[in-house]
Chain A
Amino acid sequence: MLKEGELRIPSGCAISGIIDKESKRFCGEEIIKSIALMHDRSNGLGGGFAAYGIYPQYKDLYALHIFYDNLSVKMQTEDFISKYFEIESAGTIPTRSVPSVKNKPLIWRYFVHPKNYTVKGDIIDDDEFTSRYVIKINKEFKGVYIFSSGKNMGTFKGVGYPEDIGEFFMLDTYEAYMWTAHGRFPTNTPGWWGGAHPFTMLNWSVIHNGEISSYDANRRFVEMYGYKCTLQTDTEVITYLFDLLVRKHNIPIEKAIKVVAAPFWDDIERESKELQNELKSIRSVYASALINGPFSIILGYEKGMIALNDRIKLRSLVAAEKGNRTYVASEESAIRIICDSPDRVWSPKGGEPVIALLEGEQK
């Protein structure tokens, strides 16, 4: 049977996210409780979490979380990494034994920064350098998968129900100002840990419910810009799209959302001349970055959290606010179980993003 990445596997899912906009950190129990409520939306073949603000002591270093199939590929990879990066700290990611979580790979964590002489200042910056090497290792090293590479954030994922994965990774011992979680219902998977969500690239993390029908159009578009879609998953390509638009092309996040969930041509016609021109330009230049088909996604990055539905809302997504916190989830019940009296609960319209940024951050 082919591994994920060698074929394309559609899957349905549950998603949940919480952010404290004042950057107050809280432990992982709440998000586990929320995603666990939606147990039936997963089938035990993938669960995962992204946590922001968990490594304050290493906040300027890239935290690489890596799955290894065996010790020999680990040694090769470490040799390679140490050629281009200073490794400040390395160790296994602590786990607890959970009966339902089986066949675990070797799971290691490194805090690194690119060696100065390897980064040619004007040409590429640290981020670009690191992302290129992450893509290179994932593409070229068999049995190795870097599943998290951001700063002061980390992804934890594996094959199992999300609540079991959360317990396995001891997320109750981490504190973050933002958590996202994913439970997966793949229709066909050999159970590879790398295939679980969230998918991340540098500080971007994406969790996603849906099966995008524009996948190959999106993939072939981002692959023109140096990305390599090794997993063939929607999440991977969505992450690269945002990385390309926001980091490489420097497009404001609100405009990037107009790219992936573009307003309809008929609606554009009704706008002012200036806005029309802007939206037409966006749709023309980034036509291949439009994401089509059903999706609800939660996007995490250093500034905060963005939740988004496809243009005609073919997937469920509910949002709520209470105090400094914003919640989003596939189901309202998954919010109410951890927040019994929200100030406001709503169902965002198709293509209309929920943008919850840390205080002081610009859209």
Chain B
Amino acid sequence: MSLDFNSPAFEVIRNEKKCIQCKVCVRQCSNKVHSYDDEDNVIYSDDIKCVNCHRCVVLCPTRALVIKKYPLEFRENANWTGAVLDEIYKQSQTGGVLLSSMGNPKSFPIYWDKMLLNASQVTNPSIDPLREPMETKVMIGRKPEKLEFDAKGKLLTKMPPQVELSVPIMFSAMSYGSISRNAHESLAKAATELGICYNTGEGGLNRDFYKYGKNTIVQVASGRFGVHKEYLNAGAAIEIKIGQGAKPGIGGHLPGRKVGEDVSATRMIPVGSDAISPAPHHDIYSIEDLRQLIFSLKEATNYGKPVFVKIAAVHNSAAIASGIVRAGADAIVIDGFRGGTGAAPTRVRDNVGIPIELALAAIDQRLREEEIRNEVSLIIAGSIRNSADVVKAVALGADAVYIGSAAVAALGCHLCRSCSTGKCNWGIATQEPELVKRLNPDIMYKRLVNLISAWNHEIQELLGGMGINAIDSLRGNRLMLRGIDLNEKELEILGIKYAGE
């Protein structure tokens, strides 16, 4: 093999005056960046192995470490950037498809940051959430067209199954396999304490976690890993995953080395075998097939669980969403192109799909034009970063949001985007026992509870400012939004006015 042309991405800078050679960094780094030379009593760092996950930096007792972008520069070129060249070096060396982790990091517009919220002044009062009730509860599921009462005023309509969420936020699908058992348990415990739901992802559900069923959404994806009747009945709702925002149009691949005893049992596949999810569901080649799967799942659960259908935000999402409603789904989940992933081909992640804000606005509007918006719940995912994003999503028309990247960040993820290596130093995206045990679910779940509770306070504060005391009144309330730095077309699609209008 010829020379490796790649240079390090990061530089590890150790302040020798501060370093006490305690070797925490040596023990903590699964990438083996740091090594101790006992002859010289000094610790060396190999920059090229560093993924910049900050594990050593955070744990260093004397704060002796800093990681910086590697200062090596290519000759300036606006077109042939260093990143472009590095990818060419990698591919010409390996002949492989480039893999990436987490969501699309490129500098596409972030529409959340181009929308501003309203507040009450004089003509109506803002409401103080510390003094007045402020409701953030939502009900997810199919709604009948109308309610019927008998002559005595008794309700006749029987409601389809609903999932009750205390806050319109859920934890996105992340499979057991792509993330660790302890990460899963942290999500499950937090969802239970918060009165929301987490999502199993496509890897089945470990039997130890059936006890969190009321707060679990069980996923059925194209690989059907770990899907059986008991599993379908274990959760509060079922989600059919058609697509994922990070990799629309393609399936998934969990490498065999991540399939240990426990993952193998949960997924119902042999130990060490690759778990490959096909790109399409091979029993769904069109919308009418989707209807059959939706109703098979409803049959299997005696019509007791709402069935969600998740798709990636793509060009014609609005029409697809309409079809999904008519196919009988109780909720639609739309995952935007910024959505995270354990591993996706870089070219797909960075170039396929559309921003969730635009997809959401278009879908909500389309379903209203077809007069079916009120029949389903609309859940969005794909880079909700904070409570303001949640509020803006609801104002555009979402019933609830999923958060994945933000949730793992609460558990310690520093978005080093190396999940696919399986060496996550934070114990999240790994199956290596000594790494997994770094994440103690009994302690770490509280960080998730804190995060969502904090966001809930902020949502209440923003709602109160707008003179609203139930999140229902914000849903689809686009007059509460104004655009900034947007063109006419973008405003039209988002269905909002420009600031000052």
**Interfacial residues, chain A to chain B (CB-CB below 8 A):** 8, 10-12, 187, 210-218, 220-221, 223-225, 249-252, 254-255, 262, 264-266, 277-278, 280-288, 290-294, 311-312, 314, 363
Q: A292-B473, A312-B132 are in contact. Are A286 and B147 (CB under 8 A)?
A: yes
A sample of 30 cross-chain residue pairs with beta-carbon separation below 8 angstroms, ordered by A number, consists of: A8-B479, A210-B124, A211-B124, A212-B124, A213-B124, A213-B480, A214-B477, A216-B476, A217-B477, A218-B473, A220-B476, A220-B478, A224-B371, A251-B147, A254-B153, A255-B149, A280-B159, A282-B147, A283-B139, A285-B144, A285-B146, A285-B374, A291-B473, A292-B467, A293-B120, A293-B468, A293-B473, A294-B125, A312-B132, A314-B127
Are A284 and B468 in contact, CB atoms less than 8 angstroms apart?
no
Within 8 Å by CB of B155, from A217, A266, A278, A292, lies: A278
Closest to A249 in B: B146
Task: Chain B residues near A285: list those with CB within 8 A.
Answer: 143-144, 146-147, 157, 159, 374
How far apart are the CA atoms of A223 and B371 in the complex, in Å?
A: 9
Within 8 Å by CB of A288, from B122, B125, B137, B476, lies: B476
Are B123 and A283 in contact, CB atoms less than 8 angstroms apart?
no
Q: Output the least CB separation between B483 and chain A (Å).
A: 15
Task: Chain B residues near A224: list those with CB within 8 A.
Answer: 368, 371, 373-374
How far apart are the CA atoms of A215 and B127 in the complex, in Å?
A: 16
How far apart are the CA atoms of A250 and B472 in the complex, in Å?
A: 23
Are A277 and B133 in contact, CB atoms less than 8 angstroms apart?
no
How far apart are the CA atoms of A287 and B398 in the complex, in Å?
A: 13
Q: Output the least CB separation between B213 and chain A (Å).
A: 21
Task: Chain B residues near A255: list those with CB within 8 A.
Answer: 147, 149, 153
Q: Does B475 contact A (CB under 8 A)?
A: yes
Are B475 and A288 in contact, CB atoms less than 8 angstroms apart?
yes
Q: Does B466 contact A (CB under 8 A)?
A: yes
Closest to B152 in A: A252
Within 8 Å by CB of B139, from A212, A278, A287, lies: A287
Are A216 and B147 in contact, CB atoms less than 8 angstroms apart?
no
Q: A217-B477, A282-B147, A312-B127 are in contact. Are A293 and B467 (CB under 8 A)?
A: yes
Are A265 and B137 in contact, CB atoms less than 8 angstroms apart?
yes
Closest to B397 in A: A220
Are A12 and B123 in contact, CB atoms less than 8 angstroms apart?
yes
Are B147 and A249 in contact, CB atoms less than 8 angstroms apart?
yes
Are A217 and B476 in contact, CB atoms less than 8 angstroms apart?
yes
Q: A213-B120, A292-B473, A312-B133 are in contact. Are A281 and B147 (CB under 8 A)?
A: yes
Q: Is the interface of B mostly helix, strand, loop or mixed?
A: loop
Are B472 and A290 in contact, CB atoms less than 8 angstroms apart?
yes
4 further contact pairs, Cβ within 8 A, besides A213-B480, A264-B133, A293-B468: A217-B476, A218-B473, A249-B147, A285-B159
Are B479 and A216 in contact, CB atoms less than 8 angstroms apart?
yes
Are B155 and A281 in contact, CB atoms less than 8 angstroms apart?
yes
Q: Does B186 contact A (CB under 8 A)?
A: no
Q: List B110-163 residues whose CB lies under 8 Å from chain A.
A: 120, 122-125, 127, 132-133, 135, 137-139, 141, 143-144, 146-149, 153, 155, 157, 159, 162
Are B368 and A213 in contact, CB atoms less than 8 angstroms apart?
no
Are B124 and A252 in contact, CB atoms less than 8 angstroms apart?
no
How far apart are the CA atoms of A225 and B155 in the complex, in Å?
A: 22
Interface readout for B446-483 with A: 1 if CB under 8 Å, 0 if not?
00000000000000000000111110111111111000
Task: Chain B residues near A254: list those with CB within 8 A.
Answer: 153
Closest to B127 in A: A312
How far apart are the CA atoms of A286 and B139 in the complex, in Å?
A: 11
Closest to B144 in A: A285
Within 8 Å by CB of B475, from A287, A291, A311, lies: A287
Q: Output the least CB separation between A165 and chain B (Å).
A: 22
Are A312 and B368 in contact, CB atoms less than 8 angstroms apart?
no
Are A294 and B467 in contact, CB atoms less than 8 angstroms apart?
yes
Task: Chain B residues near A221: list those with CB within 8 A.
Answer: 374, 476
Q: A285-B147, A293-B124 are in contact. Are A217 and B132 (CB under 8 A)?
A: no
Q: A10-B124, A314-B124 are in contact. Are A292 and B470 (CB under 8 A)?
A: yes
Closest CB pairs A-B (n = 7): A214-B473, A292-B473, A213-B467, A216-B479, A287-B472, A217-B477, A211-B124
